[in-house]
A and B are shown apart, each in its own frame.
Chain A
Amino acid sequence: EPEVTQTPSHQVTQMGQEVILRCVPISNHLYFYWYRQILGQKVEFLVSFYNNEISEKSEIFDDQFSVERPDGSNFTLKIRSTKLEDSAMYFCASRDNLNTEAFFGQGTRLTVV
């Protein structure tokens, strides 16, 4: 069964460093998302991406964040200068159309020290 894959599964980084979280969505999907879950809290929406551009972003998704789909298969989330409060599990999701199932990856646990 097709699945969304995310790498790395765990990343530890120093405060102020840049990190790139990688995702390979399901191949025929058109809508892509990043969510995050701070330990013990709800899963929160960060950004949606369609037709090679950001379609919607939350207040969390400030200038430190960016997304890219560089080659038609990968979908990346970059955090330019990480803060301690960026420590969370980051999930990538994809779906083939609106109002259909959205499939999530296994997540990348980001720890900022």
Chain B
Amino acid sequence: SQQGEEDPQALSIQEGENATMNCSYKTSINNLQWYRQNSGRGLVHLILIRSNEREKHSGRLRVTLDTSKKSSSLLITASRAADTASYFCATEMTTDSWGKFQFGAGTQVVVTP
């Protein structure tokens, strides 16, 4: 089964608008992490949210986690052109002893000035 699937696949917004993307998963998790990837570059860690947490903030980023629905959302407020990137959720399942992640296919966000 697919773990950590993001939607939408692509999102195009204007600068200043908010961007929301979602991640769904199928099995119980220890934590879920969000990463950003600029085109062809490395994975930048954004936020980790653990299974006993419901919401976390970091600057303009807000992440929620609903374990009953097995879903998470990432909200970027007041978006900037520099937020243009692909965003991935990565889940660490409770059945994994060594902390590997399963990544989704990502949401490609384009912020136009």
- Answer whether A99 and B92 are a contact pair too, CB < 8 Å, given A33-B100, A48-B98, A55-B97: yes
Q: How many residues of B contact A (CB 8 A)?
A: 26
Are the CB atoms of B48 and A100 closer together than 8 Å?
yes
Are the CB atoms of B40 and A50 closer together than 8 Å?
no
Q: Which residues of A contact B105 (CB under 8 A)?
A: 41-42
Identify which of A63-71, A77-85, A102-110 touches chain B.
Answer: A102-110
Which residues from chain B sit less than 8 Å from chain A, CB to CB? 30-31, 33, 35, 40-45, 48, 50, 88, 90, 92, 96-106
28 A-B residue contacts at CB 8 Å?
A: A31-B98, A33-B100, A41-B105, A42-B103, A42-B104, A42-B106, A43-B103, A44-B103, A45-B100, A45-B102, A50-B98, A56-B97, A56-B98, A56-B100, A89-B40, A91-B42, A95-B99, A98-B30, A98-B99, A99-B31, A99-B50, A101-B45, A101-B48, A102-B101, A104-B43, A104-B45, A107-B41, A109-B40
Which residues from chain A sit less than 8 Å from chain B, CB to CB? 31, 33, 35, 41-45, 48, 50, 55-56, 89, 91, 93, 95, 98-107, 109
Other 14 A-B pairs with CB < 8 A, given A42-B105, A56-B96, A104-B44? A33-B99, A35-B101, A43-B101, A43-B103, A45-B101, A48-B100, A98-B92, A99-B99, A100-B48, A101-B45, A102-B101, A104-B43, A106-B42, A107-B43
